[in-house]
């Protein structure tokens, strides 16, 4: 789901075999995955046709929004009502957690599986994405392409492309994404963004709404003479960007991305149920790509069906990022 959410800064992707995977071994793996897909095809058709399994539980999503609101409320009290800098920083981190997780919930809306109403999915998805300066409509269009070809994604770079601390932090903080979003806001307001189709008009309008929110936040802070939205929105973008990076990077990184099978091009991560709740089931990303319109709450059940055939299965997030950062740090030291 990473496409359009947080761009990578134009770094090249490993769009062939997995990192370190011999070409001959890849051919064998792809043959095995093709056989597994044929074997699993009847089961995919069966569960896709199961109305009970595919039922959209809007109540569950509303509860998740209440959870988000509670965390945000605690963070807002900490940054505005505590009067202690350390508590304010902790509050900003809590708000940043909310904004990063918002993108996972906006992703549900993007697949129209949060609510049965497509209009409600669009409205809520748009609201959830704005704090991260992400256009829900632009993301939705590119995300449709992503599900056809996972190489069309944002986290398209490899460790060896990161050869300095500056580039690492540029990616962790999503500098390119925020800079691009502000540029699009400017073009949308000035009429420089194309609006030939309904989709393009929706994208333009989403950036105009984003622009209005940004201007309103700045004007309010200046009018009242307090850093109200600075603490409630802008400072929390720092931990939000870092967390979003770590939630979304493992989805396809290092997988065989030029193959259409979710058993090859996507990853599953074994983790504690609390962590799975925290990332809204994103650890089951191979299951999501295997049956993209399945409700998020059903991904664990799908994982039990396909887990033996998923090539890129991690024992934990710690294992994935331990290996990833060892590669990154080794490359930085070598430079």
At 25, the pLDDT band (50, 70, 90 cuts) reads: low
Question: Which is higher by pLDDT, 161 or 267?
Answer: 267
**pLDDT attached to residue 246:** 95
Estimate to the nearest angstrom the gap between the alpha carbon of 41 and the chain centroid: 27
43/65 Cα distance (integer angstroms): 32
DSSP string, 266-280: SEEE---HHHHHHTT
* Contacts for 110 with CB less than 8 Å, ≥ 6 apart: 1, 121, 125, 136, 139, 140, 143
180/160 Cα distance (integer angstroms): 24
Task: Provide the angle, in degrees to the nearest 10, between the axes of the packed helices 136-148 and 85-110.
Answer: 60
- Tens digit of pLDDT for each residue in 56-80? 999 999 999 999 999 999 999 999 9
Which of left, alpha, beta for 259 (phi over 0: left; psi -120 to 50: alpha)?
beta
190/168 Cα distance (integer angstroms): 33
**pLDDT attached to residue 257:** 86
Please say whether the beta carbons of 151 and 13 come within 8 A: yes
**pLDDT attached to residue 22:** 46
Does the predicted TM-score (pTM) go above 0.85? yes
Phi, psi of 66 (to 5 degrees): -65, -40
pLDDT at 42 exceeding the cut of 70: yes
pLDDT at 29 exceeding the cut of 80: yes
* Contacts for 241 with CB less than 8 Å, ≥ 6 apart: 6, 96, 100, 132, 172, 173, 174, 177, 178
Least confident residue range of 11-20, 92-101, 300-309, 319-328: 11-20
**pLDDT attached to residue 157:** 60
112/101 Cα distance (integer angstroms): 17
At 226, the pLDDT band (50, 70, 90 cuts) reads: very high
**pLDDT attached to residue 14:** 35
Handedness of CA 9, 207, 212, 64 (dihedral sign): negative
- Tens digit of pLDDT for each residue in 286-304? 999 999 999 999 999 999 9
Helices and strands (DSSP H and E) totals, the chain: 15, 2
pLDDT at 6 exceeding the cut of 70: no
- Tens digit of pLDDT for each residue in 99-139? 999 999 999 999 999 999 999 999 999 999 999 999 999 99
- Residue with tokens 């049956």, as numbered in its chain: 291
Report the mean per-residue pLDDT for the chain. Answer: 90
Average pLDDT over residues 149-163: 74
Question: Which is higher by pLDDT, 254 or 123?
Answer: 123
Average pLDDT over residues 161-189: 94
| Letter string b/e over residues 160-180, b meaning 16 or more CB atoms within 10 A of that residue's CB | bbbeeeebbeebbbbbbbbee
pLDDT at 83 exceeding the cut of 90: no
**pLDDT attached to residue 28:** 80
* 25-39, 145-159, 263-277 — most confident range: 263-277
């Amino acid at each position: 789901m990473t496409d359009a959410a947080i761009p990578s800064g134009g770094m090249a992707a490993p769009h062939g075999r997995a990192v370190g995977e011999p070409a001959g071994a890849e051919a064998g793996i792809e043959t095995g995955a093709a056989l597994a897909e044929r074997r699993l095809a009847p089961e995919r058709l069966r569960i896709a046709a199961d109305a009970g399994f595919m039922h959209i539980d809007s109540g569950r999503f509303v509860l998740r929004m209440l959870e988000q609101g509670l965390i945000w409320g605690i963070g807002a009290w900490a940054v505005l009502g505590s009067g202690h800098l350390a508590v304010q920083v902790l509050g900003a981190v809590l708000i940043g957690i909310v904004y990063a997780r918002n993108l996972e919930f906006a992703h549900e809306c993007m697949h129209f599986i949060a609510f049965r109403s497509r209009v409600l999915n669009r409205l809520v998805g748009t609201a959830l994405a704005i704090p991260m300066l992400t256009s829900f409509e632009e993301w939705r269009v590119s995300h449709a392409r992503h599900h056809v070809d996972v190489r069309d994604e944002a986290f398209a770079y490899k460790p060896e492309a990161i050869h300095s601390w500056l580039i690492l932090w540029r990616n962790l903080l999503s500098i390119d994404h925020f800079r691009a979003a502000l540029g699009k806001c400017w073009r949308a307001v000035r009429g420089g963004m194309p609006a030939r189709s309904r989709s393009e008009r929706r994208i333009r309008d989403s950036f105009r709404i984003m622009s209005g929110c940004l201007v309103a936040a700045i004007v309010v802070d200046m009018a009242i003479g307090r850093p109200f939205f600075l603490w409630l929105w802008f400072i929390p973008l720092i931990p939000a960007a870092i967390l979003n990076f770590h939630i979304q990077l493992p989805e396809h990184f290092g997988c065989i991305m030029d193959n259409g099978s979710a058993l090859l091009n996507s990853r599953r991560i074994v983790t504690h149920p609390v962590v799975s709740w925290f990332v809204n089931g994103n650890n089951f990303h191979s299951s999501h790509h295997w049956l993209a319109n399945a409700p998020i709450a059903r991904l664990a059940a799908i994982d039990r069906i396909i887990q033996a055939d998923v090539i890129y299965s991690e024992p934990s997030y710690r294992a994935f990022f331990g290996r990833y950062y060892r590669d990154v740090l080794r490359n930085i030291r070598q430079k």
